[in-house]
Amino acid sequence: MKFRSGIGYDVHQFADDRKLILGGVEIPHTQGLSGHSDADVLSHAIADAVLGAIGEPDIGYWFPPSDESIEGISSLKILEKAAELTREKGGELQNIDSTLICEAPRVMPFADAMKEQIAAALQIKPDEVGIKATTNETMGFVGRKEGIAALAVASVVFH
């Protein structure tokens, strides 16, 4: 067996008149995130971690912002593609660990629902998805409440 891991990072700035989607779940907030897709920063970081673990390019390669046909796409579809590519390469996703970094809103009340959505898209169990949250202690763009960042790690085994 061969074990591989990948890391993902993503950031999106807040935008008016958009829903805030994190981990496939709509989170009540005064603003959403700006992006070509639904701007689900958590799902994007996870997808990049999975793609990195299997040696593939990032989500911008698979879902380029220049492709108007995918504007507004659910980021759960991006996760599904990452999982599909993993299986095609003979890999089995073992687990995800992730961290959301934002001053607001409070996201942990929605962690179980996010785990369910992410796990379903990746075809793993919810307890194989870790979600944590922290602030940036009021420093930088996150601290100024200009956006949200996310980090993720994915572990894949090849039999």
3-class secondary structure per residue, the chain? CEEEEEEEEEEEEEECCCCEEECCEEECCCCEECCCCCCCHHHHHHHHHHHHHCCCCCHHHHCCCCCHHHCCCCHHHHHHHHHHHHHHCCEEEEEEEEEEECCCCCCHHHHHHHHHHHHHHHCCCHHHEEEEEECCCCCHHHHCCCEEEEEEEEEEEEC
pTM: 0.97
Task: Reply yes or no on domain 2-158 having CATH 2.30.110.10.
Answer: no
The pLDDT tens digits of the residues spanning 65-122 come to 999 999 999 999 999 999 999 999 999 999 999 999 999 999 999 999 999 999 999 9
Average pLDDT, whole number, for the chain? 97
